Structure 1
Amino acid sequence: MRFNKLDLNLLVALDALLSEQNISRAAEKIHLSQSAMSNALARLREYFNDELLVQVGRKMEPTPRAEALRDHVRDILVRVDATVAAQPEFVPAQANRLFRLFVSDYTMTTLMPHLFKLAYEQAPGIRFDLRPQIAYPHRVLERGEADLLIIPKEYCSTEHPADLLLEETYCCVVWDQSPLAKGEMTNERYMAAGHVVVQVGDGQTALEDWFMQRLGIVRRVEASTYSFVSPAYLLAGTNRIATMHRRLAEEASRSLPIVLRDVPIAVPTMEQSMQWHKHRTSDPGLTWLRGLLKEAVAEMDKARHDAR
């Protein structure tokens, strides 16, 4: 099919080339031969009157024209996928769809087991690909690389719809033999202690640390880690303290020698949301999955209540 003399199949090739910046990998990604991909690149260069990708050392780099095209081409293909390729109905018991979710290890540990259980009961053929959180998560939505993001509300894009999944509070966690496990957890004791904090990488701070910075609180950091789960495992034998999501800390306390204490400062509640691409709001499979996630939150909190 052609539009303004452009073979629209070439947009798929261009998207792969801009994503991979390598002719062989781009060809493999969309199941073309290397010669066919080279031919597609030549036709694209002729149409746009631009090199699009130029060889720099051992890799190819996009030209300014190609960079300007990147997001627009991806958006066109996401629209096509959402409106043409999406199935008009979704029958969970018969489905074998793969859902890609970007989640933190907080969500992986607390919520995903309940989602998997419910999904297996309703749709045993459904498959999941769980990916780690990244900086600027909206970009994976816009590239069509994620079906759902599960992230704090503060990190949601204003360009795409989102829905609140749960609210989460924070607590202090200390080794059960530490002096901090006894007596009142005052602001002075909290600030005087050495802290284990989470740094998620890529220049993005954990929401709890962002809250602290906003409140003007500077803690004495003695250890940092990339995992929300890990601080609970790093406290034994020390007088350090970690500020953790309460659901996660409660889960860890069932098997670790730790004690949970209230945070002596007013740390705001985390609002954990799910976000999807605006072109996929009517996708029946995603509509089912979003509803199932809310059911999973209810199951998680029921199990939490029963364990107390």
Structure 2
Amino acid sequence: MRFKKLDLNLLVALDHMLEHRSVTQAAEHMFMSQSAMSNALTRLRTYFDDPLLVQVGRRMELTPRAEALRPAIRDVLVRVEAAIDRGPQFHPDRSDRTFNLLLSDYALNVLMPEVLRRAEAHDATVKFNLRAQTAAPYTLIERGEVDLLVAPEQFTSSEHPSALVYEDQYKVVAWKHGAYGKGTLDRERYEKAGHVVMVPPQKAQTVEGVSLAEHGVDRRIEVTTFAFTSLTSLISGTNRIATVHGRLAAMIPDADELVVHPFPFDAPPLRQIIQWHVLRDTDPGLIWLRDLVLEAAAALPAVD
């Protein structure tokens, strides 16, 4: 299809090239050959009378014209995708739709098992693609790359609709037979202890990290990991402690060997949010999924 002499298929290729700043990576994501993607770039350069991507050292950079085009092209494609996905009705037991959800391993373990159980109860034939959290997760909502974001409120966008899933509080976990397995855990002992800490992608901040910074607390970090769910396993048998979500602490498999302390600082509850693109607010399939997530959250066990 052409619009003003432009092959609109080229916009999809351009969107990928602007996102990855690489002809090779764009070709891989579109399952095209590198030569075909290079040909697409040549045609785009001719149409826009601009190089769009230029080689700077070992990587490609966007020209000012490309930077200006990038949000407009993404917006057009998101609108087209939203229109295609939005049918007049949605029947989960007859749909082959794949829902893309972006979430941390915390939400993956706490929330998703109940979501999948409820989808099964609906005889749903849909598919779920669960993707790992990123440093700025709301940007994937804005780009239309995921249908639903599950994240703390701090990592959502004010530009798109959202709903509260549940609230949680942080706890501190220690090995029962270690230095912090007995007695209370106050600020002094918390700061003295060695910590096991989850470090998000691209070293983004965690909610508890922000809260501790606001209290002027600098943890003595001895071990870093990439998953929230590994924290309790990594402190077992050691004198280290870990700050974990209360709902994860309630799911500790070897609870007899660990002690759960209250978080020794005043902190607001962690508000876990679901968010979706504003253009998909009336998408029947996404409405079904949102309701499913909220029903699953309401069925979760209460935690102190």
Distance in 2 of aligned mates of 1:224 and 1:40:
43
Shift of 1:86: 2.5
Going from structure 1 to structure 2, the CA distance change for 1:256 and 1:76 (only over 3 Å counts) comes to farther
* 1:192 matched residue in structure 2: 192
Contact map agreement 1:26 1:37 (CA 8 A) in 2: yes
Q: In the TM superposition, what whole-angstrom CA distance separates every residue of 1:129-148 from its partner, at most 9, and x where no partner exists?
A: 11111111122112221111
Please state if 1:171 is matched with 2:171. Answer: yes
Contact map agreement 1:21 1:60 (CA 8 A) in 2: yes
* 2:209 matched residue in structure 1: 209
Q: In the TM superposition, what whole-angstrom CA distance separates every residue of 1:152-187 from its partner, at most 9, and x where no partner exists?
A: 001111111111101001111110112422223333
Going from structure 1 to structure 2, the CA distance change for 1:87 and 1:34 (only over 3 Å counts) comes to farther
AA matched with 1:140: L
Q: How does 1:1-308 map to 2 (within 5 A)?
A: 1-23=1-23, 26=26, 29-30=29-30, 37-55=37-55, 60-254=60-254, 257-301=257-301
TM-score with structure 1 setting the length:
0.88
Contact map agreement 1:101 1:128 (CA 8 A) in 2: yes
Shift of 1:211: 0.6
Contact map agreement 1:147 1:276 (CA 8 A) in 2: yes
Going from structure 1 to structure 2, the CA distance change for 1:256 and 1:59 (only over 3 Å counts) comes to farther
Q: How many residues align?
A: 304
Going from structure 1 to structure 2, the CA distance change for 1:189 and 1:62 (only over 3 Å counts) comes to closer
Shift of 1:50: 0.6
Distance in 1 of aligned mates of 2:176 and 2:52:
60
AA matched with 2:120: Y
Distance in 2 of aligned mates of 1:255 and 1:248:
11
Shift of 1:26: 4.1
Q: In the TM superposition, what whole-angstrom CA distance separates every residue of 1:200-259 from its partner, at most 9, and x where no partner exists?
A: 131311111111101222222222222111120111222221111011011115556211
Shift of 1:5: 4.2
Distance in 2 of aligned mates of 1:93 and 1:64:
47
TM-score with structure 2 setting the length:
0.90
Shift of 1:84: 3.9
SS of 1:180's equivalent in the other structure is coil
Contact map agreement 2:164 2:274 (CA 8 A) in 1: yes
Identity %: 47
Distance in 1 of aligned mates of 2:195 and 2:29:
45
Distance in 1 of aligned mates of 2:83 and 2:288:
17
Distance in 1 of aligned mates of 2:281 and 2:291:
13
Distance in 2 of aligned mates of 1:179 and 1:30:
54
Contact map agreement 1:120 1:126 (CA 8 A) in 2: no
After TM superposition, the structure 1 stretch with the greater mean CA deviation from structure 2, 191-200 or 210-219, is 191-200
Contact map agreement 1:95 1:123 (CA 8 A) in 2: no
Q: In the TM superposition, what whole-angstrom CA distance separates every residue of 1:16-36 from its partner, at most 9, and x where no partner exists?
A: 333455556645655667666
**Which 5+ residue runs of structure 2 have no aligned equivalent?**
none
AA matched with 1:300: L
Let me know the Cα RMSD of the aligned residues. 2.5
After TM superposition, the structure 1 stretch with the greater mean CA deviation from structure 2, 177-186 or 262-271, is 177-186
Shift of 1:42: 3.1
Going from structure 1 to structure 2, the CA distance change for 1:42 and 1:236 (only over 3 Å counts) comes to closer
Going from structure 1 to structure 2, the CA distance change for 1:27 and 1:225 (only over 3 Å counts) comes to closer
Contact map agreement 1:253 1:259 (CA 8 A) in 2: no
Contact map agreement 1:161 1:276 (CA 8 A) in 2: yes
